[in-house]
Structure 1
Amino acid sequence: MSQKRNRAARNFGLKSRCMISAGRNALREGMQSHASIGTMTDRWRVFCSYVKKTHGISDMRRIEKSHLKQYSEHLKARCNLTEKTGKMRPMSPVTAQNYISAVNRVLEIARGDKVIRIDAVGEAKMTKRTGICSQSKTVSEQVHQRVTQTVEQRIGAMMDLQRTLGLRFEESAKINAGKALAQAEKSGEVVIKDGTKGGRARTVPITSSEQVAALRAAAAIQGSHRSMIPAGQSYANFRAEAYKQIENTGSTYHGQRHHYAQQRYQAIVGAPCPVVAGVPHREQHQHLSRALGVSVEAARKIDHAARLQVSQELGHGRIVITNAYLG
C-alpha cells in the first residue's frame, strides 16, 4: 500500500476529485487482479451513486459506518423484491454481499484501516451465502429472441456468442470472432483468452451448428477489426452503451452464460441440472439416480464430472462457483 498519499486530502489523496475514480485508484493500488478491479469498481460505483443521492456525499472522507448500514438495508430491500419496482431491481443475497465487500475493500485501502466497514451477515443480517442457486437465472429462448431483435445487431450477435459459447460480456466484446470461427471449423473447439478473468485462457468445444452460426454472424459484423468493440471506441464506453441497450428488457448478459451452463450439463448428463428440474441441491444425486436409472454413487460421479466439465468451459476456478448456475 502506498505511503505517499496525503490522506487528509479529498478522497484520501487518491488522485481524483471523483469518488468513483478515486475508488478505482485505490483498488489499483491495493489489488493485483485487473479483472477483479473492474468488477469491484462497478460495485463501488453503485455505492457512490447511492450515497451521493441520499446523503450528498462525494468525498470518501465523509463516509461513516452509518452510511454503510443504510446502504446494506437498501440492498436487503432489493433482495426481497420478486420483480422490478420503479427503478429497483431484484438482487440475490450473494450479489448484495459482493457489493458490500467491494465497498469494504475500497475503504480499507483508501483509509489504511478497517474502521469503516460492515459485516454483511453478522451486522447487516443478510442471508448467509451458500453459492448455490435455488432459482434459474437463465434468459429464456423467447426473451432472448425478442431482445436480440430490438438491440443493435452487434449487441445481438454478442448475446448469441454468450449464449452458445458461455462467454462473459467482456469476453464476447474482446473476442476475435473471425479467428475463433477459423478455429471452430478447423479443430472443433475455440480458445477463449481475451477478456478472461485473471487472463486464464480456456477451451470451449464446438458441439452444435448454433455455435458456428453465432461465430459466423459475429465475424461478419467484426469485419477486419480485431474484436467486437467498434473501431475508435473504448471498451468502457462500449460496455456502458451495451448495458444501457438492455435496460428494461427483462434480459441480462450474464443470464446467457447461465443458459449455456444448464444446456451443457443436460447434454453431458442426459438429465436437467437441479435448478431446472426444481430439485434442492441436497437431493440432486438421489434425483439423478432415479432419472438415469443408476445407483446414487454412480449418479454422484456423473454429476461431479459434469460440473467439472462445465466449470472448465465457463472458466471458473472452482466447481462451487458453477453451483450458482446449476443448483
Structure 2
Amino acid sequence: MKKTKRNTKRKTNNYGWKASKMRKAVRFALNRQVSQRTIGYQTKRDQVGRFGQFEIWVKERGVGRLEYVTRELVIEYGRELAARVDAGELKPATAQNLLSAVNTSMKAASRGQWRSVSPTRECGIASRSQVRKVPPPELAQARAAIAELEQHDSRGAAIAALALEFGLRSKEASLINAKALLKQARAQERVTISKGTKGGRARKVPIMKPEHMKALELAAEVQGRDRSLIPSDKTWAQWRNSDLRKIREAIADRLGCRGLQDLRSSYAVNRYQDLTGKPAPVVAGGRQTDRETDREARQVITEELGHGRTDVLASYVGGVK
C-alpha cells in the first residue's frame, strides 16, 4: 500500500504573517507600519504588549488564530474590561487603551479588513472625559429599575441598590458583609466600607434615608450564610466575569446607561443636592452655588466615593464652572 507523502512544510496562519502565535503575527504586521512610518516604534511596543493581554484571554476560550477572532468575542472582552472599571480595578483610560490595541492590531494583521469595536457604545467602558456632560439616571427611575430587577434577581438588585444608595463600586458591593454593616448602621447611623476598596483605604458612608437601610436589609437577606454577596462556590473573578457582568448589563438595559458605574454617579449627584441645596452642575448645566460651597460638597462626596482627589468628581457631577 502506497503511503501518503507527509507535508513537512510549515503551515502558515494568522492572516499569512508566517507566525504560529497571534502576538508574533501582530508584531510582524505592526513592524510593517513602523517601516512605513505610519506608527512609531514605541507605539508598536505598547500595542503588542496590550494585545498580549487579549491573547491570553482569548486563548482561554479556545481561540489560537487571528482568523477566528470575531467582533462578538472582542465585545465580550471589552465588557469584561468595563466590569473591571466598575469594580475600580481599571481606570477607564486603561480599559480603552487595551481595547484600542486589539482594534489596531486586528486591523493591521487583517490588512484593513477588521471593523473596529467601540469601547463606549458597544462595550460600555466609561468615557475618558474628565467632565461629565450627561446626567446619570434619576433616583426614582433607578429605584424603579432595581425594584423590577429584584423580581427575578434579588442578588443583582442588592448589588445595584448598594451602588445607588451608598455609591459603592461593584467590587465593594460584592465583598461587603451586609449583615455586619446592617448591625453597624443601626447602632452608629453609618457604615464602614473596607473590603474591595481602591488602595485598601477604608471609608465611612452615612445613613441618611430609609432607602439606605432598605438596601442593607435586602443585601443581608440575600447574603444568607455566605460571608459576602458573592456565593461561596465562586471566586471574585468568576463572579465578576459572569453574574456581575449580567447585573451590569441588566441595569444598563433598563436605564439606558453604562450600568453600575452610572448608579455611583446618581449617588454623587443626589448627595451634591443634599449638601448644597442646588442641583449638580451636570443636571443644571453649570454650577448653581458659590465656589466655596461647591468645593466643600465635592470634598465630602469624594471621600464617600473612596477617591483621593476632588478633581475626579467632575466625572460624576460635572465641572466647577
Query: CA separation of 1:238/1:92 partners in 2, compared to 1, >3 Å: closer, same or farther?
Result: closer
Q: Distance in 2 between matches of 1:182 and 1:142?
A: 29
Q: Does structure 1 residue 19 correspond to structure 2 residue 68?
A: no
Structure 1 residue 197, shift from structure 2 partner: 0.9
Question: Could you tell me whether the CA contact under 8 Å between 2:88 and 2:169 is conserved in 1?
Answer: no
Q: Does structure 1 residue 278 correspond to structure 2 residue 279?
A: no
Deviations 1:90-145 (A, max 9, x none): 77651xxxxxxxxxxxxxxxxxxxxxxxxxxxxxxxxxx4x111221335532542
Q: Distance in 2 between matches of 1:155 and 1:309?
A: 28
User: After alignment, is 146-155 or 233-242 more displaced?
Assistant: 146-155
Q: What's 1:171 paired with?
A: 172
Q: How does 1:107-256 map to 2 (within 5 A)?
A: 129=129, 131-138=130-137, 141-150=140-149, 152-239=153-240, 240-245=242-247, 246-247=249-250, 248-249=253-254, 250-251=256-257, 252-256=259-263
Deviations 1:178-227 (A, max 9, x none): 01111111111111011111111111011111111110111011012110
Deviations 1:143-191 (A, max 9, x none): 5423542351100011111111110111110011001111111111111
Query: CA separation of 1:17/1:326 partners in 2, compared to 1, >3 Å: closer, same or farther?
Result: closer
Q: Distance in 2 between matches of 1:159 and 1:306?
A: 24
Question: Could you tell me whether the CA contact under 8 Å between 1:20 and 1:48 is conserved in 2?
Answer: no
Q: TM-score, normalised by structure 2?
A: 0.63
Q: What's 2:295 paired with?
A: 304
Structure 1 residue 63, shift from structure 2 partner: 11
Q: Distance in 2 between matches of 1:18 and 1:255?
A: 26
Count of residue pairs the alignment pairs up: 240
Query: CA separation of 1:44/1:226 partners in 2, compared to 1, >3 Å: closer, same or farther?
Result: farther
Q: What's 2:73 paired with?
A: none
Structure 1 residue 241, shift from structure 2 partner: 2.2
Query: CA separation of 1:163/1:255 partners in 2, compared to 1, >3 Å: closer, same or farther?
Result: same
Q: Distance in 1 between matches of 2:143 and 2:234?
A: 26
Say which SS state the counterpart of residue 172 (structure 1) adopts. Answer: helix
User: Counterpart amino acid of 2:199?
Assistant: G
Q: What's 1:258 paired with?
A: 265
Q: Distance in 2 between matches of 1:320 and 1:18?
A: 32
Q: Distance in 1 between matches of 2:143 and 2:101?
A: 32
User: Counterpart amino acid of 2:245?
Assistant: Y
Say which SS state the counterpart of residue 203 (structure 1) adopts. Answer: strand
Q: Distance in 1 between matches of 2:165 and 2:231?
A: 22
Question: Could you tell me whether the CA contact under 8 Å between 1:136 and 1:276 is conserved in 2?
Answer: yes
Say which SS state the counterpart of residue 275 (structure 1) adopts. Answer: helix
Question: Could you tell me whether the CA contact under 8 Å between 1:161 and 1:214 is conserved in 2?
Answer: yes
Deviations 1:268-303 (A, max 9, x none): 111111111122xxxx2xx32xxxxxxxxxx21111
Q: Over the residues paired in the alignment, what is the CA RMSD in angstroms?
A: 3.8
**Structure 1 residues not aligned, in runs of 5+:** 1-7, 24-33, 95-128, 289-298
Q: Distance in 2 between matches of 1:141 and 1:278?
A: 21
Q: How does 1:309-320 map to 2 (within 5 A)?
A: 309-320=300-311
Q: Distance in 2 between matches of 1:46 and 1:241?
A: 22
Q: Distance in 2 between matches of 1:42 and 1:234?
A: 22
Q: TM-score, normalised by structure 1?
A: 0.62
Q: Distance in 2 between matches of 1:92 and 1:223?
A: 33
User: Counterpart amino acid of 1:134?
Assistant: K
Q: Distance in 1 between matches of 2:93 and 2:235?
A: 19
Structure 1 residue 46, shift from structure 2 partner: 3.9
Query: CA separation of 1:21/1:40 partners in 2, compared to 1, >3 Å: closer, same or farther?
Result: farther
Q: Distance in 2 between matches of 1:241 and 1:38?
A: 21
**Structure 2 residues not aligned, in runs of 5+:** 1-19, 25-48, 60-86
Question: Could you tell me whether the CA contact under 8 Å between 1:51 and 1:67 is conserved in 2?
Answer: no
Q: Distance in 2 between matches of 1:223 and 1:134?
A: 40
